[in-house]
Amino acid sequence: MSLFQYTLLHQDAQTSARRGTFETAHGVVDLPVFMPVGTRGSVKGVEISQLEATGSQIVLGNTYHLMLRPGAEIVRELGGLHEFCGWKKPMLTDSGGFQLFSLAKIRKITEEGAVFRSHIDGRKIALTPEDSIRIQEALGADIAMAFDHVIALPNTRAAIEDAMFRTLRWARRSRDAHTREDQALFGIVQGGLEYDLRQRCAEELAALELPGYAIGGLSVGETPQEMYDCIDAVVQHMPADKPRYLMGVGRPEDLLEGIKRGVDMFDCVMPSRNGRNAMAFTDHGPMRLRNARYERDPRPLEENCPCPACRRSRAYVRHLFVTGEMLGPILLTIHNITYYQRLVAGARKAIEEDRYQEYYAERFAQWREGVPD
């Protein structure tokens, strides 16, 4: 029996939302789950014990950035990514494909892989599917991603089709290069907003019998509704007995929309990045703490939030940002990740009780109301 077991615990009665678990070498992950992004082996400004206190179960690391600094072999020598950063729970590393998409001006894609220039020192570097897997095996995360070709949307069908078929070829090469039995390899479905291409990609990846599958190449220029429609089209063609991961998404609304459609895993920099920029996520929508309305506000960000930011007043957290104190971004990052974890924990409980549609409707109604005065 494979180490990596997906178990469906309950299917919501009214939606496609599902409550499950996924077993890894560093523990069992409760699904649906949100994964904070620790790009360089660190969620910016958050110490490991603080991250654990948010309720986070699994953290994402970035292959592209870690291969440049400190280097995958250094991480391997120091015991792998878990030992290197001190996170003892499950970890996932991306393939580097999305970073190469974001570096479009300094990279070239060929059938062999990608050739790019380091954003740090300009040196020329080649990255192939085999290289990506070798690096991810050196990093030693519990879940590694197959190397894929991401392109911007909107785009021509010809370009989207070319990238989709290349993604399939690279997925097979990634599978053939992968050797670690204690590391799950996930495939990535590409195909833009062309539903037939997405479906073909999903079906051909399923034939590789990998431990899990992701939907990639969304939140790259399309509207939220286009993304949701695409998820609807592709999820039904993904294996029901494997985790489904929507990569790089997103807002709290996007998480609930994805869960409603049968997605199990999410990651996004939004809670940490927005936290560093004075935005707090709450049950009543985003709160922009630099706003003068909070200058004398004695209330916590949220009454029912257990995070350290919510043990202070809105006025104090605002003061930290206005005066440039580094504690402000730290506190709001912790709050936002805690909020995301509370959101998905609530979703898990609602699915178990067959009331996900009610939970979904309640959250959206509160977000529409906005932050009360």
Q: By the 8 A CB rule, do 343 and 350 touch?
A: no
What's the start-to-end Cα distance of the chain, in Å?
A: 56
Q: What is the pLDDT of residue 103?
A: 65
Residue 23: its H or E element: strand 18-24
Domain with CATH 3.20.20.105 in the chain: 25-268
Per-residue pLDDT of the chain (373 residues; tens, 9 = 90+): 578 999 999 999 999 999 999 999 999 999 999 999 998 999 999 999 999 999 999 999 999 899 999 999 999 999 999 999 999 999 999 988 776 666 666 578 889 998 888 777 888 888 999 999 999 999 999 999 999 999 888 999 999 999 999 999 999 999 999 999 999 999 999 999 999 999 999 999 999 999 999 999 998 889 999 999 999 999 999 999 999 999 999 899 999 999 999 999 999 999 999 999 999 999 999 999 999 999 999 999 999 999 999 999 999 999 999 999 999 999 999 999 999 999 999 999 999 999 999 999 999 999 999 998 8
Q: Which residue has the tokens 């104190």?
A: 325
Q: What is the pLDDT of residue 118?
A: 78
- CA-CA-CA-CA dihedral for 49, 53, 56, 58, to nearest 10: 20
Q: What span, in angstroms and rounded, lies between the C-alpha atoms of 129 and 139?
A: 15
Q: List the beta bridge partners of residue 24.
A: 27
Which residues, 6+ apart, have CB-to-CB distance to 316 below 8 Å?
none
Q: What angle do CA 264, 72, 336 make, to 5 degrees?
A: 40
Q: Which tokens belong to 46?
A: 């958050």
Q: What angle do CA 6, 208, 160 make, to 5 degrees?
A: 105
**Alpha helices, H only, 116-239:** 129-139, 157-177, 195-206, 224-235
Q: What is the pLDDT of residue 104?
A: 60
For 267, how many CA atoms within 13 A lie in the half-sphere containing its CB? Answer: 24
Q: What span, in angstroms and rounded, lies between the C-alpha atoms of 85 and 40?
A: 9
Query: How far is the CA of 235 from the CAs of 33, 215, 229, in angstroms?
Result: 17, 9, 10
> Secondary structure of the chain: what % helix, strand, coil (to 5)?
45, 15, 40
Q: Which tokens belong to 172?
A: 């097979």
Q: By the 8 A CB rule, do 103 and 119 touch?
A: yes
pTM over 0.75: yes
Which residues, 6+ apart, have CB-to-CB distance to 364 below 8 Å?
253, 256
> For 25-268, CATH number?
3.20.20.105
Q: What is the pLDDT of residue 96?
A: 80
Q: Are strands 244-246 and 212-215 parallel, antiparallel or unpaired?
A: parallel
Active site residues: 94, 267
Q: What span, in angstroms and rounded, lies between the C-alpha atoms of 333 and 278?
A: 9
Quick check: bond before 70 cis, omega within 30? yes
For 314, the 3-state DSSP assignment is helix
| Among 45, 77, 72, CA closest to 61 | 72
Q: What span, in angstroms and rounded, lies between the C-alpha atoms of 23 and 371?
A: 39
Q: What span, in angstroms and rounded, lies between the C-alpha atoms of 48 and 225?
A: 36
Q: What span, in angstroms and rounded, lies between the C-alpha atoms of 167 and 76?
A: 27
